[in-house]
Chain A
Amino acid sequence: MVSFKALLLRDLRLAFRQGGDGAMAVIFFVLAALLFPFGLGPEPEALARDAVGIVWVMALLASLLALDRLFQGDWEDGSLDLMALSPLPLELVVLAKALGHWLVSGLPLLIAAPIVASMLQFDTAGLPRLVAALALGTPTLSLLGAVGAALTLGARRAAVLVSLLVLPLEIPLLIFGVAAADPAATGDGSTQFMVLGALLALALPLCPWAAAAALRQALD
């Protein structure tokens, strides 16, 4: 009997047992972000100015890491067929998967981001706003990622293909996410936060719907 909660807990249990995915995403995030001082030079002003952008881009890339395996395991062993046949709508299955992905890859990012930003000489006064923007933006990343994962299920080179499909769709989110957290911007960023909220509100119904349609095509 498949229920939303059971599905979510199963995914989380698998993630913790394997330990890999979530930890990998965070490690990649930290490591890659810390390459920038070497690449851009260590001057604090330059790094601080770019810190928000670096953190956001890294968040986007880190969220892509576990995506190609989001549905693959269940698809290969037949569980996805069972889920499709169960009374639980496929859209809710997708939502559970996306939520699991966010809890494992996105939430740890909210803890790592302030640390990374501080190491990039970012002014600590701006950290709450950065975390808030990421908190509002990363769920949308997981939702869009779920659409990409569903579309590329069973494709050759699915990992790379997911990035090619999902990153362009995430660009508006990136633009507003950086603007919302940017301390140099005029105003308190409330419009940008509203846009981030609007994007999440749009993604919550639309992404599971699109991903479910894609999954049905894969299961046909």
Chain B
Amino acid sequence: MHRFANPARFMRVSQIVLPWLATVTVLFLVAGLVMSFLAPPDYQQGESVRIMFVHVPAAWMAMCAYTSLALASAAALIWRHPLAEIAAEETAPLGAVFTGLCLVSGSLWGQPMWGTWWAWDARMTSVLVLFFLYLGYMALLNAFDDPTRGRRAAAILALVGFVNVPIIKFSVEWWNTLHQPASVLRMGGPTIDPSILWPLLVMAVAFTLLFVTLLVLRMRAALIERKIRVLDAAASGALG
């Protein structure tokens, strides 16, 4: 694992992998969109079920992104891994966007389904908390004059907030309130119809690929920006 800790190695490997990643991402996004609109309308929910193909993958990504954030933060704190620090920092905005998307699309689905834009049930509340955790992480990161201190503090916050992720996952099982229980990632296997399941899975893969592609791009950009800062400092040192 530590072979990949080298930023230079990361730059080399990502340079090769990136075009393929981007291509596969676009392919899956297109395929997912096509399948989402070709899927038959639901018996009860009609055409509004199509919102699920945006809402559920976004929700999965919101939680996966936070999990990677927590893992990267742990690696950064325990091993002072430079790539882990960058990975954590660049994951947060992506996770925040997916969480926001989950909340908005959920609202748009909830209104025709349940007659309300919002309800304070356990799952929705904890996803809202997740959104604020992302915002808090980003705020804390930038709140210090010393960027290292900001990264370390934010890493601790990421770990503290991780308790929220299992709460989101299991909230629909612990409390029987408004949001429907799990129908895909559950013990007995998925309970939804294949004609709905497949577009969902393809969209989920597409969102995951998009997340990974953007994360790699952002990490590359961050590493280049670091190099620029170093060169800047060296140049002004040479001239000063």
Contact partner of A210 (CB less than 8 A), chosen from B133, B145, B160, B167, is B160
Given contacts A151-B156, A152-B153, A217-B156, contact A168 B132 (CB under 8 A): yes
Do B140 and A156 touch across chains, with their CB atoms under 8 A apart?
A: no
Chain B binder among A17-25, A31-39, A157-165: A157-165
Do B136 and A164 touch across chains, with their CB atoms under 8 A apart?
A: yes
Given contacts A155-B140, A165-B136, A210-B156, contact A217 B149 (CB under 8 A): yes
Nearest chain-A residue to B77 (Cβ)? A213
Interface size of A in residues (CB-CB distance below 8 Å): 23
Considering the complex, which residues of chain A in the window 158-178 have a beta carbon less than 8 Å from any beta carbon of chain B? 158, 161, 164-165, 167-169, 171-172, 175
B157 interface residue, CB < 8 Å from A? yes
Interface of A is mostly: helix
Do A217 and B136 touch across chains, with their CB atoms under 8 A apart?
A: no
- Assembled-state Cα–Cα distance A165/B149 (Å): 16
Do A165 and B156 touch across chains, with their CB atoms under 8 A apart?
A: no
Nearest chain-B residue to A175 (Cβ)? B125
Do A156 and B153 touch across chains, with their CB atoms under 8 A apart?
A: no
Contact partner of A168 (CB less than 8 A), chosen from B120, B129, B150, B167, is B129
B144 interface residue, CB < 8 Å from A? yes
Which chain A residues lie closer than 8 Å to B136 at the CB level?
A: 164-165, 168
A92 interface residue, CB < 8 Å from B? no
Interface size of B in residues (CB-CB distance below 8 Å): 25
B161 interface residue, CB < 8 Å from A? yes
Which chain B residues lie closer than 8 Å to A157 at the CB level?
A: 143
Which chain A residues lie closer than 8 Å to B159 at the CB level?
A: 210
Which chain B residues lie closer than 8 Å to A156 at the CB level?
A: 143-145
Q: Smallest Cβ distance from A154 to chain B, in angstroms? A: 7
Do B125 and A218 touch across chains, with their CB atoms under 8 A apart?
A: no
Which chain B residues lie closer than 8 Å to A171 at the CB level?
A: 125, 129
Do B144 and A155 touch across chains, with their CB atoms under 8 A apart?
A: yes
Which chain B residues lie closer than 8 Å to A218 at the CB level?
A: 149, 153
Given contacts A164-B135, A168-B129, A214-B153, contact A152 B143 (CB under 8 A): yes
Considering the complex, which residues of chain B in the window 44-100 have a beta carbon less than 8 Å from any beta carbon of chain A? 77
Which chain B residues lie closer than 8 Å to A167 at the CB level?
A: 132
Nearest chain-A residue to B150 (Cβ)? A155
Given contacts A161-B140, A164-B136, contact A169 B156 (CB under 8 A): no
Do B156 and A214 touch across chains, with their CB atoms under 8 A apart?
A: yes
B152 interface residue, CB < 8 Å from A? yes
Do B125 and A161 touch across chains, with their CB atoms under 8 A apart?
A: no
Which chain B residues lie closer than 8 Å to A175 at the CB level?
A: 120, 125
Nearest chain-A residue to B130 (Cβ)? A168
B113 interface residue, CB < 8 Å from A? no
Which chain B residues lie closer than 8 Å to A172 at the CB level?
A: 125-126, 129, 167
Contact partner of A169 (CB less than 8 A), chosen from B129, B143, B152, B153, is B129
Per-position 1/0 for A116-132, Cβ under 8 A of B: 00000000000000000
Which chain A residues lie closer than 8 Å to B104 at the CB level?
A: none
Q: Smallest Cβ distance from A101 to chain B, in angstroms? A: 18
What are 24 A-B pairs at a CB distance below 8 A? Answer: A147-B160, A151-B157, A152-B153, A154-B149, A155-B143, A155-B144, A155-B153, A156-B144, A158-B143, A161-B140, A161-B143, A164-B136, A164-B139, A165-B140, A167-B132, A168-B132, A169-B160, A172-B125, A172-B126, A210-B156, A210-B159, A214-B153, A218-B153, A220-B152
Q: Interface on A for B, CB 8 Å cutoff?
A: 147, 151-152, 154-158, 161, 164-165, 167-169, 171-172, 175, 210, 213-214, 217-218, 220
Which 3 residue pairs of A and B lie closest in terms of their CB atoms, listed nearest first?
Answer: A168-B132, A155-B143, A217-B152
13 new A-B contacts, CB < 8 A, other than A155-B150, A172-B129, are: A152-B140, A155-B144, A156-B144, A158-B143, A164-B139, A165-B136, A168-B128, A168-B129, A169-B129, A169-B161, A171-B125, A217-B152, A218-B153
